Chain A
Amino acid sequence: MAMESELAGAAVRKPVTLKYPFERRDVPPRFRGRLAWDAEKCVGCGMCVQVCPAFALEMVGKGPMAELRYYLNRCVFCSQCVESCPRDALSMTEEYELADYKHKVYEFKRG
């Protein structure tokens, strides 16, 4: 007998769900989306590759001119690479609609 007031309240309340593709919520400030790479800052130390739990990052080449390969389908969006980067060359964007039929591989290039 305790549900009546709840039910009466719900009858006049707006639905809490959003019609997703037409309405979107704002992403929270610390949201972790697709990875982005800043070629200017990267020194090719390979720290990100060592700490990645999902083996989603790979260094192409060696030394300061090394480039990064990012396997999006393996990424678990933990942002450990961003935290471990000594030069802040990596960052997480706010992009989140990343589902695809193909295995996406991003080749981050210099220049």
Chain B
Amino acid sequence: MLEESERAIFEVPIGPQHPALKEPILLLFKIEGDTIVDVMARPAYTHRGVEKATEARNYIQNIYLCERVCGICSCIHTLVYTQGVEKLADVEPPPRAKYIRVIMSELERIHSHTLWLGVAAHELGFDTLFYYVWRDRELVMDLLELISGNRVNYAMSTVGGVRRDISDAVAHQIKKGMEILRKRLDVYTEVVEKEPTLRKRVIDVGKLSPHDAVALCAVGPTLRMTGVKRDVRADDPYQAYDEIPFNVATYDTGDVLAQIIVRVVETYEAANIIDYAIDHMPSGPIKVKVPWNIAPNEIITRGEAPRGELFYYFKSNGTEKPERVKIRTPTLGNIPAVCEMLKGYHIAEIPIVFAGIDPCLSCTARFAFIDERKGKSWVWSGDQLRTYRRKYYKRYGR
């Protein structure tokens, strides 16, 4: 037994490259014995300069650039991007296009949540469930491939509407697919409710209180698992969501089990939304023309990605290229929350708690400074960057 003075706090870095992580992030843990005391996250290892690259491409080219911000949320990124450009140009997409966008983004939500359920099962060491879930996920992937022609980058939304229509035959196939999906989801709900090996690993692990979740700006299922009913689709409806009835899935325990249940319930809801949207899809054109050059304007727009709120800021300057595009992805909003969730738990629980927020780190790299010697971190605004640039060039020349 150690005396109080002999107890030491170790620093354990996990990442940027680590078998427990799928993408590079540095999580610096302060550990006392086996218990996590403090966590510092440093996500900026995958800065790709997407926002800067948008300034060198026109509005059409940027659709495909923004689609590639994230491999899983590729539909919602184009949806929010095109929604923003339409708002910028003051153009309203046709109603049928709005419904097709909703169907695509809900199919994507099903694909993302089932993928996450598989990954979570894998992180828990329950690889059988992982393989079964991913097998059934192929159902949605095939439907997405049938509609768009591709499994990952669908290229569906375009500025002014969508690029491909959903025919009656395809709509019938989607409805049939949703029926099979519901049956499969019933099985997984039963597994989550009854399987003791799974429940023992997830109950009371990675707890987050509703107060902390709101204070740390958590978004998406990470916020809803604490019981806070907040969803962009319901609170600030975009596209056709104001015409479609659906429930916002919440759960009150705020642990990893709540994350699983919220995502499974959301998958059911997504299937219901798709069925409703197919039944109530208006006929008509799927695309309107949008001018090549867009008058000077400045807007913000957002949507609910599978992981949470996705935010875009646009500034146009009258040319065919945007002056500034700012993207805030949901994972960036969830990193402070996951640091809080990890505190007080054991090293063995790091993978599942961290995977619990469905991290997508290649989306997160933004401009921030971290001074490790002084233990400070801060973020610069555009004005501060401009001042720094002026001073730098004055001193060193061009």
| Inter-subunit contact A2/B191 (CB<8 Å) | yes
Beyond A10-B132, A16-B138, A79-B155, whether A2 also contacts B57 by CB under 8 A is: no
A3 to B158, CA, bound (A): 43
Are the C-beta atoms of A53 and B138 separated by less than 8 Å? no
Q: Which residues of A contact B33 (CB under 8 A)?
A: none
Q: Find chain B residues with CB under 8 A from A76 CB.
A: 64, 68, 153
CB distance from A94 to the nearest CB of B (A): 10
Q: Measured between C-beta atoms, what is the minimum distance from B282 to chain A in Å?
A: 22
Give the interface size class of chain A. 20 to 34
Q: Does A77 lie within 8 Å of B194, measured CB to CB?
A: no
| Residue of A whose beta carbon sits closest to that of B67 | A78
The smallest C-beta distance from A25 to any residue of chain B, in angstroms, reads: 9
With A16-B138, A30-B148, A32-B150: A6-B62 Cβ-Cβ less than 8 Å: no
Number of A-B contacts (CB under 8 A): 66
Interface of B is mostly: helix
B389 CB-CB contact with A under 8 Å: no
Q: Does A53 contact B65, Cβ atoms closer than 8 Å? A: yes
CB-contacts of B249-276 with A (<8 A): none
A93 within 8 A of B: no
- Measured between beta carbons, the chain B residues less than 8 angstroms from A11 are none
Give every chain B residue within 8 A of A28 (Cβ-Cβ).
145-146, 149
**When each residue 37-51 of chain A gets 1 if its CB lies under 8 Å from chain B and 0 otherwise, what string results?**
000000000000011
Q: B61 near A2 (CB under 8 angstroms)? A: no
Interface members, chain A 67-99 (any B CB < 8 Å): 76-80, 83-84
- B360 CB, nearest partner CB in chain A, Å: 20
Nearest to B189 among chain A residues (CB) is A2
* A78 and B138 contact, CB distance less than 8 A: no
Name the A residues within 8 Å of B196 (CB-CB). Answer: 1
List A9-28 residues whose CB lies under 8 Å from chain B: 10, 16, 28
- Please tell me if B58 contacts chain A, counting CB pairs below 8 Å: yes
Which chain B residues (44-62) contact chain A, with CB distance < 8 Å?
Answer: 57-58, 60-62
Cβ–Cβ contact A7 & B128, under 8 A: yes
Q: Is the CB of B149 within 8 A of A3?
A: no
The 4 residue pairs across chains A and B that have the minimum distance between CB atoms: A30-B149, A53-B64, A53-B61, A2-B194
Known: A2-B187, A53-B64, A54-B64. 7 other contacts (CB 8 A): A1-B195, A1-B196, A6-B132, A31-B150, A53-B61, A77-B153, A78-B67
